[in-house]
Structure 1
Amino acid sequence: MTAAALAVLLVLLWVLSPPPVHAPASAPPRRARQDGAGPLEMAHLVEQLATVISSGAGPRQAWDALGRSLPAGELQDLARAAAAGSDLRRAAGERLGRTDMVCALSTALAVCERTGAPTTVMLQHLAEALRDLHDAAQARRSAFAGPRSTARILLVLPLAGLGLGMLLGGDPLRLLLTSSAGNLLGLTGLVLTGCGWWWMRRLIHRADPPRHHQVDPSVQLELIAGALDSGLPLSRAVAVVGAALPAGVQARALQRVAASLESGVPASLAGRALPAELAALARSVVLAEGTGADLSRVLRSAARDSRRGRARAAEVLAAQLAVRLVLPTGLALLPAFVALGIIPTVISLLGGTLTLASGTG
């Protein structure tokens, strides 16, 4: 029994302990750079590219200059491949290629090439967008860290009940394994624990779903604004951005909207074909048409508001999630705690007391 109790305690400590933080001091500086190309590093790269191009260099010359100045790593490999004329999406390394940063940069450069939009301005706005997206992602992770940790702790309640019973001197594990009533309690506890795990996982997934955008919707608004700056009408600007995006739902939606606008459909009606994450495009167009405001500035303002509002939205969703986690706790995990820990412990303790009393008599 002591060994079983020790095993339960070790599992509890492992589950409840925070993940280890590995110090990067042991890794060589170049290797750390290789593994650490995130949104901030990419934003810095985009700003450097814009600065070199603004000095009069062509895109390939700018990439070549960056390739010589960057430290060894995946960003340097990307710059050298771009200087050689390779497609950015194919030239990106395996880890970097799975992110949306390279896709956004490649799409922005393609829009500039097809429309004649000022590359420097487009890249500066893209760098700002990447920083905002990084801040929003960090805020979202921080907001959901508490509810996720709470869910992780609550999931070990049934196991904690089993360990608590052992520490109190009972033998709930033997009862659960060797008697029909114990088998029924154990099965009930395991089913309730599984239901609680599934329920919590579903709540967390609905509150904080994974994102699969190849180019963030707010960046798409920035790209349309940049195309408008080149003098294109709205329908043509939307069509160019839709053609430059990777094939997908959003690219097809933009192309449908562009075709509708080209045929004379009002923006308020054409925008209904847009997915929810691009609804700001339709609202911005209607606002600009109704007020005579510069549409490119309205789009950029909507893009910034969209990115900066995500932190507040994440805080609200995380607070709602913390409240909703009470349901699986009360209806599944606490009953599992009673079935696996409390009832077997009480039965085993009472059984031991009765046996001792009959032996004394």
Structure 2
Amino acid sequence: MRVARVERGRTPVGEQVASVVEQLAVLVAAGVAPVQAWGYLAEAIDDEFVSGVAEEASRGVPVAEAVVRAIAGSSTVGGPAAGSGRGLRSGGAADAWRALAAALFVATESGAPMRLCLTDIAESLRQLGGVERDIAAALAGPAATARLVMVLPAIAVLGGSLIGLDSLGTLLGTPAGVTCLLLGLLLSGAGRWWSSRLLRRARRIDPTPGLELELVAVAVGGGGSLPAARSLVRDAFDRYGPTRRPHRPDGPNDPAEQTVRAVLLLASRSGAPPALLLRSEAARIRRDAVSAAQERAAALGVWLMLPLGLCILPAFILLAVAPVLLGVLAGAPM
């Protein structure tokens, strides 16, 4: 019997995925096999995506592959992380689940315990979910103001008609009115485009910072050699890795690869456990990524004032105030 339902549309993507991953980590830590764990989650969570993973895994499909198949087979509004209503395939939720698939693949192939890795992934996703909340809060004020300003022209036209001014006729039937209409619509469109671009830039976040180092630590924890662990992680990313990761060069110039080499060199010279050093560095990368994203979210509220002041408000003047003034001037005795 299903006792819970993942809430959509309010909880950020990162937090929704993190909630499922945390429950999965607890079940795995209790000794439940991953296939059975997904089955229990499907019974407890009324959600299409989780049920899809459980169904695929019950057929004998490897769990990592089952996650990817569930992503591909989800409906437009399906999945516990489809908070935006766009579905798993079109947003950051798909990349978060792909990161989980990569972690499950590495843990399974290396024979390593996956509880710590799942817990770290869940914590990272939860922190990034907090950043999503910060971005939504920064956007709320300017967005509400813009919506109000865009409604006011209709109110102004209606008010003008009540006092005997043909504001709508002035706006549509005179050269000056048509000019105001075209300029107002142009500025409104420019303001919306500018705001959307600022929002996309603020939301440009690596969905799984430090994941490579975390997975190398998992592979090493399985008892494999360092070269084998790094090869396994590269294979995992080729198969299941997130698709929206920030662009960076491949090979030896990859910053993540350089960080792994530096940490492993430190471990070999100091004799410290490489897995602990890798997890420590992965945690630092996550903290830095969250801090940078929080700074962008805080700055977003200020930057959104620019399209509001330079585009939306002038559009309001052209669409609401100017027709009334033109109507008054047209009706004034010469």
User: Shared topology, TM-score over 0.5?
Assistant: yes
Identical columns (%): 27
Report the AA paired with residue 273 of structure 1.
Answer: D
Partner of residue 232 from structure 1, selected from 210, 224, 232: 224
Partner of residue 61 from structure 2, selected from 69, 74, 86: 86
| Corresponding residue of 2:321 | 342
Residues 290-329 of structure 1: pairs in structure 2 closer than 5 A: 291-329=270-308
Residues 313 and 69 from structure 1, CA distance in 2 versus in 1: closer, same or farther, beyond 3 angstroms? closer
Offset of residue 300 of structure 1 = 0.9
Report the AA paired with residue 89 of structure 1.
Answer: V
- CA distance in 2: counterparts of 1:197 and 1:342, whole angstroms: 21
Partner of residue 167 from structure 1, selected from 159, 163, 181: 159
Residues 282 and 193 from structure 1, CA distance in 2 versus in 1: closer, same or farther, beyond 3 angstroms? farther
Cα deviation digits, residues 135-194 of structure 1 (max 9, x gap):
223311221113322342343425424524543645432211111110011101111111
Q: Can you give the 5+ residue segments of structure 1 that lack an aligned partner in the other structure?
A: 1-28, 54-58, 258-269
* Secondary structure class of the residue paired with 1:209: coil
| Corresponding residue of 2:213 | 221
2:178 aligned with 1:186: no
Q: Can you give the 5+ residue segments of structure 2 that lack an aligned partner in the other structure?
A: 9-15, 80-87
* Secondary structure class of the residue paired with 1:232: coil
| Corresponding residue of 1:264 | none
Cα deviation digits, residues 251-303 of structure 1 (max 9, x gap):
9x99x64xxxxxxxxxxxx3x2346xx76535534554565533211221222
Report the AA paired with residue 173 of structure 1.
Answer: L
Q: TM-score, normalised by structure 2?
A: 0.73
Residues 1-361 of structure 1: pairs in structure 2 closer than 5 A: 30=2, 32-33=4-5, 38-52=17-31, 59=33, 63-64=35-36, 67=39, 71=43, 73=46, 74=48, 75=50, 78-79=53-54, 81-87=56-62, 88-89=66-67, 92=70, 94=74, 95-96=78-79, 98=89, 99-100=94-95, 102-116=97-111, 118-119=112-113, 123-156=114-147, 157-164=149-156, 166-167=158-159, 169=163, 170-209=165-204, 216-247=208-239, 257=251, 270=252, 272-274=253-255, 280-282=259-261, 284-285=263-264, 287-288=266-267, 291-352=270-331, 354=332
- Which sits farther off after the overlay, 235-244 or 305-314? 305-314
Report the AA paired with residue 276 of structure 2.
Answer: R
Larger Rg: 1
Choose between structure 1 and 2: higher helix proportion. 1
- CA distance in 2: counterparts of 1:158 and 1:68, whole angstroms: 49
Residues 172 and 125 from structure 1, CA distance in 2 versus in 1: closer, same or farther, beyond 3 angstroms? farther
Offset of residue 335 of structure 1 = 2.0
Report the AA paired with residue 61 of structure 2.
Answer: S
Report the AA paired with residue 86 of structure 1.
Answer: V
- CA distance in 1: counterparts of 2:308 and 2:59, whole angstroms: 57
- Which sits farther off after the overlay, 89-98 or 217-226? 89-98
